[in-house]
Amino acid sequence: MPSSASRAAPQPLYKQIADTVAKMIHDGVLRPGERTPSLRAICDQHGVSMSTAVQAFVELESSGLVEPRHKSGFFVKFPPQALFDLPGPPRVPMSGSLGNRHASLFDAVVSANVIALGGAVPSPDILPTVKLNRMLAEKARHAGARGVMYDLPPGSELLRRQISKRMLKGGAVVAPADIITTCGATEALMLCLRAVTKPGDVVAVESPIYFGILHVLEALSLRALEIPTDSQHGLRLDVLERVLKTQPVHACIALPAFSNPLGAAMSDDAKQRLVALLKKYQIPLIEDDVFGELPFGPKRARTCKSYDDSGLVLFCSSFSKTLAPGYRVGWVVPGRYYHAVRMAKLTHTLATATLPELAIAGFLAEGGYDHWLRSVRTIYKENVARMRRAILEEFPAGTTVTTPQGGFLLWVTMPPKVDAIALYDRALAKGISIAPGHLFSLEPRYTHCIRISCGEPWSPRLAAAIHTLGALAHRQIK
Amino acid sequence: MPSSASRAAPQPLYKQIADTVAKMIHDGVLRPGERTPSLRAICDQHGVSMSTAVQAFVELESSGLVEPRHKSGFFVKFPPQALFDLPGPPRVPMSGSLGNRHASLFDAVVSANVIALGGAVPSPDILPTVKLNRMLAEKARHAGARGVMYDLPPGSELLRRQISKRMLKGGAVVAPADIITTCGATEALMLCLRAVTKPGDVVAVESPIYFGILHVLEALSLRALEIPTDSQHGLRLDVLERVLKTQPVHACIALPAFSNPLGAAMSDDAKQRLVALLKKYQIPLIEDDVFGELPFGPKRARTCKSYDDSGLVLFCSSFSKTLAPGYRVGWVVPGRYYHAVRMAKLTHTLATATLPELAIAGFLAEGGYDHWLRSVRTIYKENVARMRRAILEEFPAGTTVTTPQGGFLLWVTMPPKVDAIALYDRALAKGISIAPGHLFSLEPRYTHCIRISCGEPWSPRLAAAIHTLGALAHRQIK
């Protein structure tokens, strides 16, 4: 079957086969979740060798159309961003069942008896616990009066100097005086929203989006406008642009580096375009970079902040995913909103705890952080790969899993018949906590999705948990 | 001059003289800030001994009408609560100059070159710095993984158990499970308001009121309703009661134990009546007890929470005035609003820093806290007494100073001609920071008042600062 494109070199055989299968998918002959013709069937049908058939499927997989499943062949993927295009009207998040589930996720994290796959929390086994605690002990012994006194905003200069150096690795030239320390990125995010919005304002967010952000919007009486987000490339700029032309948006929150829950990474080009687009409309961009230091590759990507020439980007991050969640040390670079964020910090918590700040500053000053990050990135990469493989093996046919290039979160899209809340309830009864997709949107878009955290090194215990989850999901589609 | 009251035993001579002077004050013959007739003149005029004249003035002083001034005789006091009775309409605090001054007060606290009398911050010389930091170092060395991990709300059980014991000393039976730890009382207050109000709601507060509370109200788009507050007895319940009959109030904030800035203490009876009054209208009471552990006497008073039988009292406190402001450890007992406050904590800062919590818990568990409090109360009492004396000596005639029975704050009412902002600006130029009265109300009620913190032990440095302040104030009334 030669290609019909005139004069063009005929496509290689494997491409032609891939195109044929792709057409079947696009035409709906093969539907999401269904098994594709087997390799053997392809060989017979097209009269090609097994290696050509395999090549065709590699092509289909890399274009995101099919998904290999261990010992079961290939299946048609669910296209995640096909679920919606233009967002509906902005909505104020509603508490209630969402709130209760949010709280119970955290209960699971702290419960020793529950396998906590629901919270995006790193396992202490992975963190440099001993070294950090030793640093804190040393700072406490030598800090004297300073240790017990307020470290009022903007917070420890020692720490801000270290953060300034780190931000340079993301391409942003930020002076220590531009930084305000916070009680983690959670507080940073809230301070930013307090600085740039008022009740009733519309905030554009990714979709699916970390439920904590929906709660913060709710707490501040803001309306969320969910922008479709590609599981590989992040926030859909084309959609955002269309939205900005037609309705007021007062702020935008993006997680360009390994979004939560998708693990998507925006390209440098896309980040630059996002910053330029929002500048055009004079809309502040709140950049949440908590996973930014955790790429699977050797080098962290540039930040949106690095493209900010107008002070409209408010950059938020923390050490909670990389060093010590319990120290509650984060920071914000508020750009032109510095004064408002500082005032908000004073009314919010007055100050960040002094000695944890000094301990983190000491840890960073000692120079071991990059070395440490390299090793932890390898661990997370391995965790994610093994968890991903296990899910694809254990979950019902048609299940797809994101392929993040950093962080430690997986977004699992199951066949539409599976209800994530039912799965959540049944899993919890068996001592396993997951984050049901319902939490990640104000619309019922992700009711067959779950977020799985890979913050803990792979183990038989985790393998058994995934086996159990898979069996529970299977039971729902019988 | 026998008393005209028929049949009643004639009043002692000194009382008769006191009555005569009191009548002159009430009739406006003697006006606030004016010098009274001298003791010598009283002796001559009434034909009495010097000791009788002195007794008369002791009587006048104890009834709050006159104020002795070192080497200058007695002066008529400004009645502080005569400034207003029924509050005006509730107002949303406006940021701007208020916000800037608020921030600059904190700048002064952290600046080594400024004598910081403006912030209500204890001096580290008074705090058990070494012992606390040693405790934190020990906890950090031995906490292991727990030290770096989230201590998610409600927070450390060890600490909550200690807090529960302490709350019993204020008469409140509160289980550890009723408590949520916070990043200081600032966060506790904000979480409570988030739990019980929505934007636009009316919150009754004391007047004058700690400016931090006005800022929190502003941040949450709440309207402040300022209730006159007596410098001795606290919130005017009679006024509050009249207000509740006529307009909606959605929450009330009170500092029954050594209010900020007045240092007023409500009687147990008044606290009980306040709780009952708000219960009648089903209005939540946010009780701020940050100074509650710092009475000058040996025993702390009961809390409003101890009279709460309906869960409407949300109790907030911290260790920032007594142990370590920089540890950022406070707590809230939210009563019937437990779930809402816990959710607000999750969205606000997610968790309180783990190791500072454990260090405070360890300090409390060792049993030295009460011993420590006894000594620090003596120090604050002495600081306050010496500061008060110095102010009365150095400031213009007509200046009055509160007589708190706990805490470490003084509220100084100067002759109305003195402008506190001008004084603030000139003092800051000379390296002295004070809190101008303008910050403590949304109305221009306290423009001739300042708040002075006595968190630092008395010293020639402080004596010189008060001398300078006094001279600056004198210059304004020339």
- The predicted structure's pLDDT at residue A119: 83
Mean pLDDT, range A98-124, rounded to an integer: 71
Kindly give the residue spans of alpha helices, DSSP state H, lying in A112-169. Answer: 129-143, 145-148, 157-169
pLDDT at position A110 is 55
Rounded to 10°, the helix B211-219/B184-196 angle is 40
Query: In chain B, which residue's Cα lies nearest the Cα of A133?
Result: B140
Q: Which positions 92-111 of B are in contact with A (Cβ < 8 Å)?
A: 95, 99, 102-103, 106, 109-110
Q: Confirm or reject contact between A121 and chain B (CB < 8 A).
A: yes
B353 vs A95, A218, A353: nearest CB: A353
What does the mean pLDDT of chain A come to?
89
B199 touches A at CB < 8 Å: yes
**ipTM of predicted assembly, 2 dp:** 0.82
Interchain contact, A137 vs B134, CB within 8 Å: no
**CA–CA separation, A15 vs A168, rounded Å?**
43
Q: Do B102 and A346 touch (CB under 8 A)?
A: yes
Which of B121, B130, B133, B323 should one mutate to test binding to chain A, selecting the residue with the greatest count of A CBs within 10 A? B133
The highest-level CATH class for domain A87-125+371-477 is alpha beta
> Which amino acid would we find at residue B472?
L
- Check residue B4 and give its pLDDT: 45
Q: How far apart are CA A380 and CA B254, in angstroms?
A: 50
Residue A359 confidence class, pLDDT cut points 50, 70, 90: very high
**A2 to chain B nearest CA, in Å?**
59
* A148 reaches B (C-beta below 8 A): yes
| pLDDT exceeds 70 at position A458 | yes
**Set of chain B residues whose Cβ sits within 8 Å of the Cβ of A99:** 343
Angle at B360 between CA B358 and CA B362, to 5 degrees: 70
Contacts of A134 in chain B (CB under 8 A): 140-141
Indicate the domain borders of chain B: 13-77, 82-125+371-477, 129-369
Roughly how many angstroms between the first and final C-alpha of chain B, as a whole number?
40
Reading chain B (478 residues) residue by residue, the pLDDT tens digits are: 444 444 556 788 999 999 999 888 877 788 777 888 888 899 998 899 989 998 998 888 888 888 887 777 888 876 654 456 777 777 776 544 455 566 666 666 556 678 889 888 888 888 999 999 999 999 999 988 999 998 989 999 999 999 999 999 999 999 999 999 999 999 999 999 999 999 889 999 999 999 889 989 988 889 999 999 999 999 999 999 999 999 999 999 999 999 999 999 999 999 999 999 999 999 999 999 999 999 998 899 999 999 999 999 999 999 999 999 999 999 999 999 999 999 899 989 999 999 999 999 999 999 889 988 999 999 999 999 999 999 999 999 889 999 999 999 999 999 999 999 999 989 989 999 999 998 899 888 899 999 999 999 999 999 999 999 999 999 998 8
Which residues in chain B have Cβ-Cβ distances shorter than 8 Å to A138? Answer: 137
Phi, psi for A317 (deg, rounded to 5): -160, -175
Could you give the count of Cα atoms lying within 13 Å of B297 in the half-sphere of its Cβ? 9
Confidence at residue B111, expressed as pLDDT on a 0 to 100 scale: 63
Between the CA atoms of B311, B314, B318 and B322, what dihedral angle is there, to the nearest 10 degrees? -80
Whole-angstrom CA distances from B135 to A49, B130, B143, B162, B165 are 72, 9, 12, 15, 20
CA atoms of A87 and B187, how far apart (whole Å) = 35
The Cα of A152 is separated from the nearest Cα of chain B by a number of Å equal to 7
Residue A224, beta-bridge partner list: A91, A203
Does residue A461 carry a pLDDT above 60? yes
Interface contacts (A, B; CB < 8 Å): 232
What pLDDT, on a 0 to 100 scale, did the predictor assign at position B119?
83
How many Å from the N-terminal Cα to the C-terminal Cα in chain A?
40
CB-CB contact of B349 with A349 (8 Å): yes
Looking at chain A, the whole-number percentage of residues with pLDDT higher than 90 is 66
What is the pLDDT, as a whole number, of residue B81? 44
Give the closest residue to B288 by CA, choosing from B261, B309, B310.
B261
Q: Considering only the beta carbons, identify the residue of B129, B339, B342 that sits closest to A144.
A: B129
What chain B residue is nearest to A126 in terms of C-alpha separation? B145
| A contacts of B141 (beta carbons < 8 Å) | 133-134, 137
Fold topology of B129-369: Aspartate Aminotransferase; domain 2 (3.40.640)
| Omega within 30 of 0 (cis) for the link into A415 | no
Does A82 have pLDDT greater than 80? no
* Predicted pLDDT of residue B118: 85
**Percent over 70 (pLDDT), chain A:** 92
Residue B116: how many other CB atoms lie within 10 Å: 24
Chain B: residue whose CA lies nearest to A214: B347
Minimum distance, in Å, between the CA of residue A97 and any CA atom of chain B: 12
Whether B13-77 and B82-125+371-477 share one fold: the answer is no
* Nearest residue, CB atoms, A326 vs list B138, B148, B221: B148
Whole-number Å distance between alpha carbons of A27 and A380: 38
Helix (H, G, I), strand (E, B) or coil at B411: strand
Cα separation, B253 vs B210, in Å, equals 11
Instruction: Give the pLDDT band (50/70/90) at residue A23.
Output: confident
pLDDT at B218: 86
Q: By C-alpha distance, which of B42, B106, B407 is closest to A153?
A: B106
**Which residue from B minimizes the CA distance to A189?**
B348
Q: What is the band of A96 on the pLDDT scale with cuts at 50, 70, 90?
A: very low
d(CA A334, CA B325): 25
Q: Is the CB of B351 less than 8 angstroms away from the CB of A325?
A: yes
Which of B109, B221, B351 shows the shortest C-beta gap to A328? B351
Minimum-distance CB partner of A121 among B102, B150, B326: B150
Residue B152: which of A110, A346, A353 has the nearest Cβ? A110
| pLDDT computed for residue B80 by the predictor | 52
**Fold of the domain built from segment(s) B82-125+371-477:** Aspartate Aminotransferase, domain 1 (3.90.1150)
Architecture of domain A13-77: Orthogonal Bundle (1.10)
Q: What is the per-residue pLDDT for B351?
A: 94
Query: Chain B: nearest CA to A75, how far in angstroms?
Result: 40
* Structure-block tokens of residue A294: 């955790």
Using DSSP's 3-state secondary structure scheme, residue B177 falls into: helix
Distance CA(A337)–CA(A108), nearest Å, equals 37
User: Torsions phi, psi of B148, nearest 5?
Assistant: -95, -10
Inter-chain contact B328–A349, Cβ cutoff 8 Å? yes
Nearest to B124 among A149, A323, A326 (CB): A149
| C-beta neighbour count of B169 within 10 angstroms | 16
At which residue do the structure tokens 């990059």 appear?
A370
- pLDDT above 60: residue A2: no
Whole-structure pTM value: 0.84
CA–CA dist A389, A69 (Å, integer): 8
Contact A235, A266 (CB under 8 A): yes
Q: Give residue for tokens 């001739």.
A: B448
